[in-house]
Amino acid sequence: GELLLFSSVIVLFQVVYGCPDKCRCHSSTNFVDCSQQGLAEIPSHLPRQTRTLHLQDNQIHHLPAFAFRSVPWLTALNLSNNSLSDLAPGAFHGLQHLQVLNLTQNSLISLESRLFHSLPQLRELDLSSNNISHLPTSLGETWENLTTLAVQQNQLQQLDRALLESMPSVRLLFLKDNLWKCNCHLLGLKLWLEKFIYKGGITDSVICGSPDTWKGKDLLRIPHELYQPCPLAAPDPESSQPQRPGSTHGVVLRPPENHNSGERDLLECELKPKPRPANLRHAIATVIITGVVCGIVCLMMLAAAIYGCTYAAITAQYHGGPLAQTNDPGKVEEKERLDSSPA
């Protein structure tokens, strides 16, 4: 009986504190290292008290739902340098205490908004060096605790401002080495980054990949005045008519009038430089210079008028004296009488 009891205790101990094959477990620190073991899936029977789990440098392709149900107390998870391309929406379900998640150097293309719903305590999320071309507008509820987000070296062209605004505590943001398309849709990111940096946030850079006008330019160095507003979708005059066969949600689908209309719409949304952007300081300077020039011209004209009048008056006074004396007949007769009278 004692032998049976002892065997049961050993089995129970192995179940609770056992370490999976190809893993190294450190019970004192609740750290499990399963890296560089050629694993194709998450090991089973991980110690329940595990706080830190390393699974980097393996060959894991897929994370099923509830993949980490056996380690609910996990706070740090490293899945970098695997072949992850498919993450089930509930892959991280149950990790209420997870704070650090590393998914770098995988093959992720996109992320579903439900993927991170169950990670309310997440502080650091590293998605760098993947093939992500799109991030959802929101990755769940407001992430009050997230302080670091890394998405560099992906295929991103746009980043919705609403996603960044759902992370009020973020202080480190890494965005470089993407395919940023610096058109009207990226203006929201530019405005958010300016405010983020003003408040003390740290970021690397957003270098434009297109259009050619801004290729290689830093997004933050492009003046606001050079952004054209995004064109609003014109209301369809036939949208109020009854739904016809082949239409969707009451909107009649019509073929485009011109096969180049789609390209034209895209060009309208491109970031185009204006030849002379409006600038208040330049306008004020132009008004001042124009006023000074006009004033100088008016003074010169006034001086010329005064000079002409003065010259005319002097000339008239000089020539008018002798003529007046010659033309006065009374004075001439009086002079003759005086001259003919006896001395």
Pairing of strands 31-33, 202-203: unpaired
Digit-coded pLDDT (tens) for 250-264: 333 343 444 444 444
At residue 174, the pLDDT reads: 97
Q: Residue 81: which pLDDT band, with cuts at 50, 70 and 90?
A: very high
The whole-number pLDDT of residue 268 equals 45
Take residue 31 and report the two structure tokens written for it.
Answer: 């750290």
Tokens of 205: 């850079």
DSSP 11: H
Give the per-residue pLDDT at 84: 95
The span from the CA of 50 to the CA of 41, in Å, is: 18
Q: What is the pTM of this model?
A: 0.65
- Helix, strand, or coil (residue 124): strand
Q: What is the pLDDT of residues 113-148, one digit of tens each?
A: 788 888 999 999 999 999 999 888 776 667 889 999
Give whole-number Cα distances, 234 to 228, 237, 258, 324, in Å: 17, 9, 16, 88
pLDDT at 308 over 90: no
pLDDT tens-digit series, residues 89-115: 899 999 999 999 999 999 999 888 788
CB 70 within 8 A of CB 94: no
- Token pair 């990111």 in the structure block, residue: 189
Residues 6 or more apart from 320 whose CB is under 8 A from it? none
| Residue 95: per-residue pLDDT | 95
